[in-house]
């Protein structure tokens, strides 16, 4: 079935098409149009249009119109789609070093996460997936991920005992939930609302804007802000589409992405506050449990990498960045 999907997409889509002197890049993702990451992409499209004088334009397809995160990545790899947005956790499957960004409590605070992403280390991680025909252009802020549940609140790690928690297709995410006593269950984002509704899982973990725009708050009435990870979203272009661009066009696109990231970070803070107010108004109990117990129980996940010199070196470098 996936082969048929890719074949159909290949016939219907041109990841990078050219009409007269204008090139059009198709960008697809799974988020709602109200989401700050989507709004950042709209800003990027406007910036690119201005920088290129209309010679390079983005066409954005939100809300899984062209497929799930994994399907969009596959379309990038064959050149039927130019760009997408995926969670850093998903990119672990193509660039193993990126999993360092998904480790629990690896960042001291939001500014530290930005400093890491903007550093040479952060830029280097974006290029780790090129051998799989995927190139990262930058990191969108996706906030801190926390647990939300249907039937009981999570005030301490032991409250996760026995709960089925939806996670992304990420080894780090699954290990994190296991280390806290929960049962990790990978489910695609688009299927999660129904899975929560039908009791396939007891809860999930994500940031406030995603919790709100997905309407998961209609089912899960407990949101515990333990903020265990700060996994960024990654803006990705397929190397097939990237290599079709001239050096000047590549420069325009990278500059537009960099400016959009700065803009989106400002939107994110506002969106977090608005989302928390909205879900509380809808009857969600928002808890702020002490993070120390969660950090202590997941500390071994960092220490386990002492035997992996490459990963432990990355962890050490991140901790040394101011």
Give yes or no for a contact between 178 and 244, defined as CB atoms under 8 angstroms apart: no
Cα 204 to Cα 201: distance, rounded to the nearest angstrom: 8
Tens-place pLDDT, residues 186-231: 998 889 999 999 999 999 999 999 999 899 999 999 999 999 999 9
Q: Give the model's pLDDT for residue 16.
A: 55
Q: Give the model's pLDDT for residue 2.
A: 47
Domains by residue range for the chain, with CATH: 2-141+232-273 (3.40.190.170), 145-230+279-320 (3.40.190.170)
Query: Which residues, given as ranges, of the chain have pLDDT below 70?
Result: 1-20
DSSP string, 153-165: --SSGGGGTT-EE
Type and span of the H or E element at 61: strand 56-61
Cα angle vertex 256, ends 254, 261, to 5°? 95
Type and span of the H or E element at 299: helix 292-303
Claim: this prediction has a pTM higher than 0.75: yes
Cα 179 to Cα 229: distance, rounded to the nearest angstrom: 14
Q: Give the model's pLDDT for residue 317.
A: 96
Give yes or no for a contact between 89 and 170, defined as CB atoms under 8 angstroms apart: yes
């Amino acid at each position: 079935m996936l082969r048929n999907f890719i074949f159909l997409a290949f016939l219907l889509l041109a990841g990078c098409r050219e009409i007269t002197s204008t090139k059009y890049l198709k960008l697809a993702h799974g988020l709602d149009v109200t989401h700050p990451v989507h709004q950042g992409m709209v800003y990027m499209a406007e910036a690119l249009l201005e920088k290129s004088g209309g010679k390079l334009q983005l066409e954005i397809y939100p809300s899984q119109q062209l497929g799930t995160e994994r399907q969009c990545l596959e379309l990038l790899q064959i050149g039927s789609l130019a760009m997408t947005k995926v969670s850093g956790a998903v990119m672990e499957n193509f660039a193993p070093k990126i999993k360092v960004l998904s480790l629990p409590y690896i960042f001291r605070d939001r500014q530290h996460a930005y400093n890491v992403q903007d550093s040479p280390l952060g830029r280097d991680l974006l290029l780790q997936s090129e051998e799989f025909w995927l190139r990262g252009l930058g990191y969108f802020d996706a906030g801190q991920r926390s647990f939300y549940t249907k039937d009981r609140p999570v005030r301490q790690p032991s409250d996760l005992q026995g709960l089925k928690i939806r996670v992304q297709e990420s080894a780090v995410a699954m290990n994190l939930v296991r280390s806290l006593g929960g049962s990790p269950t990978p489910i695609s984002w688009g299927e999660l609302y129904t899975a929560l509704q039908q009791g396939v899982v007891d809860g999930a973990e994500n940031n406030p804007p995603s919790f709100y725009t997905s309407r998961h708050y209609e089912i899960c009435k407990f949101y515990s802000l333990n903020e265990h990870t700060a996994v960024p979203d990654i803006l990705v272009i397929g190397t097939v589409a990237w290599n079709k661009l001239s050096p000047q066009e590549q420069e325009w696109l990278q500059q537009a992405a960099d400016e959009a990231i700065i803009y989106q970070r400002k939107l994110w803070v506002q969106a977090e506050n608005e989302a928390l107010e909205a879900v509380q108004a809808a009857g969600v109990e928002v808890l702020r449990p002490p993070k120390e117990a969660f950090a202590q129980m997941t500390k071994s996940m960092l220490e386990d990498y002492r035997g992996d010199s490459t990963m432990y070196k990355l962890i050490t470098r991140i901790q040394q960045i101011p």
